[in-house]
Amino acid sequence: MPKSLISIHDFSKEEILHILDVAAEFEKDKSQNILNGKIVACIFFEPSTRTRLSFETAANRLGARVIGFSDTGNTSIAKGETLKDTVKMVSNYADIIVMRHPLEGSARYASEVANVPVINAGDGANQHPSQTLLDLYSVRQTQNRLNDLTINMVGDLKYGRTVHSLLQAMSHFAPHFVFTAPNELMMPDEYKTFLKDRKIPYLETTQLIEHLNDTDILYMTRVQQERFSDPIDYEKVKNIYRLDAGMLGNVRKNMKILHPLPRINEIAANVDNTPYAYYFKQAENGMYVRMAIIAYLLGYK
Amino acid sequence: MTMEDKQLKVTAIKNGTVLDHIPAENLFKVIDILHLTQAGNQITIGSNLDSKSLGKKGIIKISERFFEDEEINRIALVAPQATINIIKDFNVVEKKIISIPESVIGIAKCMNPMCVTNHENIETRFSTIVKGKEISLLCHYCEKVTDSKNLIIKSDK
């Protein structure tokens, strides 16, 4: 079975750092035709803007060609074809598969069925490892290091897969965490136990303002409506945090705001022009990191 | 209770395996896991028998059947304290202790409704996590933990 990227645990610390170095190389030289003649399949069973476009752009910039679908309505999946059969067939056409699917564990299963590498571009609420790697890339780019940083995670820490994966990946680099969340959306115990086992310190607060000034990375997240079964629960928390430029007066000079995007109300538009906003650059970084992941899994970097 | 009482409740077998000290509420899960419903052997099952350690226990006696360790360890999920006696010519010739397997394949159901194993025809795979007496299962696919309270045994085989 070829090496796939399904979960952030699939990459060692050394592999993570290697991907970041390769991504930096691609950022300097954005178009390298190293995958000329290769086919990248992007199969998206669920809507996505950034992830799909950045994977497709990444493949194109490497000189590969892209096939795939972004809507299952006009495929045989609508006729009831199983995931197994779809993946099996695509893996006979393409050299690597990028897949997003609403079911958790679907990407792991696809990697066991396919005979080419699979990149998980999001399997429901479970994992989204390319997002984690681009988050790490942005952290390192803004702070010139990964070690010994204070990461303040804000918003939906209960259902947000990006914060869970980032927490696990950062655990290699002696971080300090602040968890800013309403009581309904606190960081789950399993992740706090994970940190305790590794002696990584964390603080918890319900107030955004409380640890704003002693933070290196402010990792904002959207409260995702699609993760709530009860609309009243969603209404209670949807606008709980709103970062405004006026709140940034005493923050650390090196502080940078990251957000996996899309944002709704949690970051006011007036933050965009402050030196702390980094989320659009972060989204751009996604492209370089995805170039690095594709090139690495195909054995070119 | 005297030895004669016990003899009357569940009769002895000549050759085979006796599974004792099964928590009464999990007796039928053990039967499922070992696929005894399809077995042609002579099987004696006792349920809700008095037990000093468990309160109520279950017991299963299977004639002419001897299990591999790997097979018997599968019941660790529901009956970790069960004892396994191998009977030859009415005598206990070997006692086995159950050890918890590192992985559990195809027996349990993942409790996560969004897990791919609950939507496609996939054999489930878990690694076991042991904390004290509790055994929980980490799903190989969705990476969520199913604890023993939410454990559902697949009996579709």
Domain A8-128+285-297 and domain A130-283 have a common topology: yes
Contact (CB, 8 A) for B85 and B94: yes
Answer yes or no: CATH 3.30.530.20 is held by domain B3-97.
no
Say which of A7, A109, A125 has its CB closest to residue B116: A109
Domain segments of chain A as ranges: 8-128+285-297, 130-283
Q: Tell me the per-residue pLDDT of B92-140, one tens digit each, with 9 for 90 and over.
A: 999 988 888 899 998 899 999 999 999 999 999 999 998 877 889 999 9
Q: Which of B111, B121, B122 to mutate to test the interface with A (most CBs of A within 10 A)?
A: B122
Amino acid sitting at position A149: L
- Architecture of B103-153 per CATH? Roll (2.30)
- Both tokens of A253, joined, read 């000079």
Please say if the pLDDT value at position B9 is more than 70: no
**pLDDT score of A224:** 80
Residue B85, judged by CB atoms within 10 A of its CB (0-12, 13-18, 19+), counts as middle
Are residues A83 and B116, on separate chains, in Cβ contact within 8 Å? Answer: yes
Helix, strand, or coil here: A293?
helix
Calpha distance A19→A23 (Å, rounded) = 6
Given an 8 Å threshold on Cβ–Cβ distance, is A103 in contact with B122? no
Rounded to an integer, the average pLDDT of A176-198 is 94
pLDDT value for B133? 76
| Residue-wise pLDDT tens digits, B54-79 | 889 999 999 999 998 888 888 888 88
The yes-or-no verdict on residue B156 having pLDDT over 50 is no
Helix (H, G, I), strand (E, B) or coil at A104: strand
Tell me the chain A residues in contact with residue B111 when contact means C-beta distances shorter than 8 Å. Answer: none
In this predicted structure, the answer to whether residue A144 has a pLDDT above a threshold of 90 is yes
Are A259 and A220 spatial neighbours (Cβ–Cβ below 8 Å)? yes
Domain spanning A130-283: CATH 3.30.428.10: no
Token pair for residue A119? Answer: 């990149």
Residues of chain A with C-beta less than 8 angstroms from the C-beta of B115 = 103-105
Asked whether the beta carbons of residue A109 and residue B145 sit closer than 8 angstroms, the reply is no
Residues 6+ apart with CB under 8 A from A175: A148, A149, A150, A151, A200
Edge-to-edge strands of the sheet including A39-44?
A65-69, A39-44, A96-101, A118-123
Q: Structural domain boundaries of chain B?
A: 3-97, 103-153
Beta-bridge partner residues of A219: A153, A258
pLDDT of residue B12: 84
Sign, CA dihedral B9-B15-B16-B21, equals positive
Domain A8-128+285-297 has CATH 3.40.50.1370: yes
List, for residues A43-81, the tens digit of each pLDDT value.
999 888 889 999 999 999 999 999 999 887 777 777 788
C-alpha distance from A45 to closest chain B C-alpha (Å):
13
Pick from A82, A105, A190: CB nearest B142 = A105
pLDDT tens-digit readout, A9-53: 999 999 999 999 999 999 999 989 999 999 999 999 988 888 999
To the nearest whole Å, the CA of B152 is away from the closest chain A CA by: 19
B128: part of which helix (H) or strand (E)? strand B125-131
Over range B14-37, report the average pLDDT: 92
Average pLDDT over residues B142-154: 85
DSSP chain A: ----B-SGGGS-HHHHHHHHHHHHHHHHS----TTTT-EEEEEESS--SHHHHHHHHHHHHTT-EEEEES-GGGSGGGGT--HHHHHHHHHHH-SEEEEEESSBTHHHHHHHH-SS-EEEEEETTS--HHHHHHHHHHHHHHHS--SS-EEEEES-TTT-HHHHHHHHHHGGG--EEEEE--GGGPPPHHHHHHHHHTT--EEEES-TTTTGGG-SEEEE----GGG-S-HHHHHHHTTS--B-GGGGTTS-TT-EEE--S--SSSB-GGGTTSTTB-HHHHHHHHHHHHHHHHHHHTT--
Give A290's Cβ-side CA count (13 Å radius).
31
**Contacts across the A-B interface (CB distance below 8 Å):** 49
Provide φ and ψ at B30, rounded to 5°: -60, -40
Q: Which amino acid is at B43?
A: I
What percentage of chain B exceeds 90 in pLDDT?
A: 54
Report residue B10's pLDDT band, with 50, 70 and 90 as the boundaries.
low
